[in-house]
């Protein structure tokens, strides 16, 4: 079983620190990672707006609260993400609220492109898809499980889009299809109101390894 290096855990930042940094990026016009293109910076601005909203409006389901409260061992939720990550903007506020329910749980974040040696242990079909929430022992760094990069229905939308784009040769049509699929994904997240994120993460946490009382 993989162990998160102590040096990685030590340099990981809190969610409030991540939010402060992402807000600074949005205001000053830059983002995390090596790709500083206008579109990535724009994604960062949009994500800051979305996280502000979800920080205020996310409500945790009663059955999820009950299970989180039943965890009786220290856990680290280590989220691998980037400021420009659209799925991250939808998921991170939920994970933070889940962690806040139980004082045995600590939520910290690291940037994917600064930590490839960690990221490469949690690939999705060979890709460095994010966000990934690694659940680990905070003392030893032993990985107990992980979840991500997005809920199943959202992931299927992404897979369907990739298949569609591969069949389109015209670049304008391809760009239009990409924009439409992104809009459909965000619409799905809005209608779902974080319920799938909560319930699928709950399924992961329901394993005995997490010390449910």
Give the single-character DSSP code of 153.
H
Are the beta carbons of 52 and 113 closer than 8 angstroms?
no
Fold of 6-210: Glutaredoxin (3.40.30)
Please state the pTM of the whole predicted model: 0.93
Q: Where are the domains of the chain?
A: 6-210
Residue pLDDT tens, the chain, 213 long: 799 999 999 999 999 999 999 999 999 999 999 999 999 999 999 999 999 999 999 999 999 999 999 999 999 999 999 999 999 999 999 999 999 999 999 999 999 999 999 999 999 999 999 999 999 999 999 999 999 999 999 999 888 888 888 888 888 888 888 888 888 999 999 999 999 999 999 998 877 666 655
Chain centroid, CA 193 distance in Å:
15
- Nearest 10 degrees: CA dihedral of 125, 201, 113, 155? 40
Question: For 165-210, what is each residue's pLDDT tens digit?
Answer: 888 888 888 888 888 888 899 999 999 999 999 999 999 887 766 6
Instruction: With beta carbons less than 8 A apart as the criterion, state whether 94 and 113 touch.
Output: no
H-helix or E-strand containing 111?
A: strand 105-111
DSSP H helices in the chain: 6-11, 15-28, 38-57, 62-69, 86-100, 116-119, 152-166, 171-192, 195-205
Q: Which pLDDT score is estimated for 211? A: 60
Q: Which residues of 57-79 are buried (b: 16+ CB within 10 A; e: fewer)?
A: ebebeeebbebbeebeeebbbbb
């Amino acid at each position: 079983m993989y162990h998160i290096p102590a040096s990685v855990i030590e340099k990981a930042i809190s969610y409030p620190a991540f939010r402060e940094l992402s807000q600074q990026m949005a205001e000053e016009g830059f983002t995390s990672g090596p790709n500083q293109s206008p579109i990535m910076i724009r994604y960062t601005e949009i994500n800051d707006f979305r996280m502000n909203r979800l920080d205020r409006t996310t409500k945790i389901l009663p059955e999820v609260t009950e299970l989180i409260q039943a965890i009786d061992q220290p856990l680290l939720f280590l989220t691998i993400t980037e400021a420009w990550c659209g799925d991250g903007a939808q998921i991170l506020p939920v994970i933070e609220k889940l962690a806040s329910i139980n004082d045995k749980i600590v939520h910290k974040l690291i940037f994917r492109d600064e930590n490839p040696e960690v990221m490469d242990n949690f690939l999705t079909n060979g890709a460095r898809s994010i966000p990934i929430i690694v659940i680990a022992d905070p003392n030893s760094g032993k990985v107990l499980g992980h979840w991500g990069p997005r809920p199943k229905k959202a992931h299927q939308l992404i897979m369907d889009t990739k298949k569609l784009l591969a069949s389109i040769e015209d670049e304008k049509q391809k760009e239009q299809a990409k924009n439409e699929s992104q809009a459909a994904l965000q619409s799905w997240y809005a209608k779902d109101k974080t319920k799938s994120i909560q319930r699928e993460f709950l399924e992961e946490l329901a394993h005995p390894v997490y010390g449910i009382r």
